[in-house]
Structure 1
Amino acid sequence: MLMSGVLDLLLPLPLYLLLLLGLLAWTAWRADVGARAYRLRWVWSAGVLWAWLLSAPITSNELIRLIEGDGPPSATMALPHDERSLIVVLASGDLRPRLDAPGWERLAGAALLWHQTGGGLLFVGGPGKGDHDSLGGLMAQTSRSLGMPADALRFVGGGRTTYEDLVQATPLVRAHNGPVWLVTSALHMPRAQATARRLGWNARPHPVDYQQLDLALLPSCLPSNGGPARLAEALHEVIGRGVYRLRGWSH
């Protein structure tokens, strides 16, 4: 934690942006400044508030908590074992393809779920449709290399968005006779679940990769270089959910 604080001081944004706007606001509120600068006093003051809200971890953390809901369930919670289960895992990564941190978290969470429920796993993600050019295929290959039985693993590719991924998986889900689970990051789950319901799925959500943090009040109110990035992830889901509703892709 100490090293992280030192690094925040060395990096230029957003702390220095906040200090710059604060200096401009303080100057504009002085009685001896020119009329033009004085007229901008509210602009610079609003800029200080904006920079603080953008960079304070409390802002992004509370928005993430609002989207994710309750924190991770208890690790001791028992789940029903049913060999008819189908666990649908939404992949995450880049187009090379290569899994990113959320992708690995989803893979690990799906594996733990499978050890409890049994059944099969369906990995979903593009951009290609083969086992070497899709994230779904990469997840299936990785699962096999980690010792999971090949006959329990399937994948579909071709999608580049959450909506396209779920559309690709829908024929297999509709043909399945048994419980269906949907695995994705907790921050991504509301949009994914709403889209799945729009496509007629009756899937039980299994969110993983929770991003909400248990922060003390004072440190969470101080500017942090990680604040804007976390806020961007949360806003991506808020805006994405709105776009999906407007396009009729989700409820």
Structure 2
Amino acid sequence: MVLLLILLCVLGYAVSRFRRGRGGWVFYGLAFVLFVASACGPVPMWLAMHLQAPYASRPAITWMPRNAIVVLGAGNTLIFATGDVIPPVNAGNRLIESYTLYRECKQSGNDCKLIVSGGDGSHVGKSEAAVYGDSLLRMGLPRDDLMLESRSMSTWQNAAFVQPMLKAYAPQRVVLVTSAMHMRRAQKAFEHFGIDALPVRGDYIGLWYSWLPTSQSLALTDRCLHEYAGVLLYDIYNAMGWTPPSSRPAAR
């Protein structure tokens, strides 16, 4: 979003400077309107609503004899004062939701594995899978039911690297846990690799208006645009035949 605003201002300056007219103010005006609409809430609210709405409700789950819960990473946080690496704030709800689902599955008397997927995308020396896995173990998850995928550096790789783990375990039910904002892009990747997973949102971002511009609204706009761009790129790559052939669903 910031780059788009800068581009509009640069275009406005170029038009005013080289054409010596008032056309540049059109670009300045567009930049101002876009900034206000983004920083005060209308744009991110509209974008986020369409991304999150399909996952607002938590689905009822019928557990099968063999189940796999896949939770996707959201980065890591390095505490510079101590050197410790911990899950970031926005990963907390994913961990809570995935562990809650695991408990529900086990209480139903069925077998269940929890797969954490995520490499060291934050470049802090530890993978998301390892850091989140430690948190889940402290929450009470049995080590035998924890599976770690620690190589992936993108949503696409999350799906690609989890696929063989699911094939080896052969679950009859797969549940995918990530943020509601991220779920559409994650589902596209997992479906491409033949993983028919039931989506369960780990978190849902609240929406608001503000009379004054806020950095939170600008950040939310950027995050939404990132998700839409990811979905669009997948569709383009798929249409151009630049992605591997789709697989049949591995589980439902």
TM-score by length of 1: 0.74
Q: Which of 225, 241, 244 pairs up with 2:215?
A: 225
After superposition, the Cα gap between the structure-2 partners of 1:239 and 1:221, relative to the gap in structure 1 and judged at 3 Å, is farther
Deviation at 1:70, TM superposition (A): 4.2
2:191 corresponds to 1:197: yes
Code of the aligned partner of 2:226: H
The answer on whether the counterparts of 1:140 and 1:153 sit within 8 Å (CA) in structure 2 is yes
Q: Which of 153, 171, 185 pairs up with 2:164?
A: 171
Gaps of 5+ in 2: 10-15, 79-84, 107-111, 247-252
After superposition, the Cα gap between the structure-2 partners of 1:181 and 1:232, relative to the gap in structure 1 and judged at 3 Å, is same
After superposition, the Cα gap between the structure-2 partners of 1:95 and 1:220, relative to the gap in structure 1 and judged at 3 Å, is closer
The answer on whether the counterparts of 1:124 and 1:155 sit within 8 Å (CA) in structure 2 is yes
Tell me the percent identity. 24
2:78 corresponds to 1:104: no
2:126 corresponds to 1:144: no
Corresponding residue of 1:122: 115
Deviation at 1:221, TM superposition (A): 5.6
Q: Secondary structure at the match of 1:247?
A: helix
2:80 corresponds to 1:80: no
The answer on whether the counterparts of 1:55 and 1:224 sit within 8 Å (CA) in structure 2 is yes
The structure whose Rg is larger is 1
Q: What is the correspondence of 1:57-96 to structure 2 with a 5 Å cutoff?
A: 57-70=41-54, 72-73=56-57, 78-94=60-76
Deviation at 1:125, TM superposition (A): 0.9
The answer on whether the counterparts of 2:76 and 2:88 sit within 8 Å (CA) in structure 1 is yes
How many residues were matched structurally? 213
Q: Which of 33, 51, 62 pairs up with 2:35?
A: 51
2:217 corresponds to 1:235: no
Q: Distance in 2 between matches of 1:223 and 1:40?
A: 24
Deviation at 1:55, TM superposition (A): 1.1
Deviation at 1:197, TM superposition (A): 0.6
Corresponding residue of 2:175: 181
Q: Distance in 2 between matches of 1:197 and 1:110?
A: 20
The answer on whether the counterparts of 1:123 and 1:154 sit within 8 Å (CA) in structure 2 is yes
The answer on whether the counterparts of 1:185 and 1:207 sit within 8 Å (CA) in structure 2 is yes
TM-score by length of 2: 0.74
Write the deviation string for residues 2-28 of structure 1: whole angstroms up to 9, x where unpaired: xxxxxxxxxxxx9xx9xxx9xxxxxx9
The answer on whether the counterparts of 2:120 and 2:126 sit within 8 Å (CA) in structure 1 is yes
Q: Distance in 1 between matches of 2:214 and 2:92?
A: 26
Q: Distance in 2 between matches of 1:107 and 1:160?
A: 19
Corresponding residue of 1:4: none
Q: Secondary structure at the match of 2:201?
A: strand
Q: Secondary structure at the match of 2:185?
A: helix
Q: Distance in 2 between matches of 1:78 and 1:114?
A: 14
Deviation at 1:87, TM superposition (A): 0.3
Write the deviation string for residues 182-227 of structure 1: whole angstroms up to 9, x where unpaired: 11111111011011110011111111211142x3xxx446422221
Deviation at 1:127, TM superposition (A): 3.0
Q: Distance in 2 between matches of 1:238 and 1:156?
A: 26
Q: Distance in 2 between matches of 1:86 and 1:109?
A: 14
What's the C-alpha RMSD, in Å, of the aligned pairs?
A: 3.0
